[in-house]
Amino acid sequence: MTNRIAFQGEPGAYSHQACHIARPDMEALPCRTFEDAIEAVREGRADLAMLPVENSTYGRVADIHSLLPQSGLHIIDEAFVRVHINLLAVPGARLDQITHAMSHTMLLGQCKDFLRRHGIHRVIGADTAGSAKLVAEKGDPSLAALAGDLAGDIYGLDLLARHIEDNHNNTTRFLLMAREPDRSRRGEAGMMTSFVFEVRNIPAALYKAMGGFATNGVNMTKLESYMIDGSFTATQFYADIEGHPDDENVRLAMDELAYFTSYIEVLGVYPADPKRR
């Protein structure tokens, strides 16, 4: 056991913050890409990977669903993290001095009202924590970064304005991935099961495949499709359902799903985060 949890991004990224919230006793290991974070777990350099899968404002994180089935890892937990955005600048800078703010394009779009009111121009950066790091290195009092509290602490920046996001319910869902599955019943908010599948090439296959969940009273909280290898004809579906595979109603629904599909892979069985309620 390494007691490390891998994440994508620079130290201070929101994924780093999620590691602190969900696994405060573990050492966070920054990685350049999602693939690198997954590989760190596969190679044993980390015990867990913290991967963002969707945001309440901007939807799913690009490419992540296609990476999960190929990762060889298993979902063992989920975490919901509120995305609070701050305006950070070099020590001594004042808000009225700021002319430009740098961050990932997604965060820039989430603070349009604040930036417009203060006449601040947007500068696209590679990511949030990387932008904070660059602002600290440049030392320019007219340039600020949009990032979280942790990034400000790590890079020694002053907080000029707190929680400036337009949408104050902005939340990102993360999945915690491990080398080995854990199907034990745990948590106080019930269990979740995530899986991917491909339907057979027959008329109304998806409609028929989904029927078993309705007739057996299984709540499906997410169903998304995505193309496989860039093909317009090969479609895979990602689904989250409430319940454990050993539950009778879930077992019956999954049996019916199998009849209309050519491929099913369970990605993980894990406790529901109470924040999803």
Which positions are catalytic? 172, 174
Angle at which helices 248-259 and 205-215 cross, to 10°: 170
Q: Which two tokens stand for residue 48?
A: 């867990």
Q: Nearest Cα to 76, choosing from 5, 1, 172, 170?
A: 5
Q: Which two tokens stand for residue 167?
A: 């949408």
Pairing of strands 74-82, 27-31: unpaired
Task: State the DSSP H helix or E strand holding residue 70, giving kind and residue range, or none if neither.
Answer: helix 64-70
CA distance 92 to 256: 64
115: how many CB neighbours lie within 10 A of its CB? Answer: 21
What's the angle, vertex CA 209, arms to CA 261 and CA 74, rounded to 5?
A: 60
- Using left for φ > 0, alpha for ψ between -120 and 50, and beta otherwise, residue 35 falls in alpha
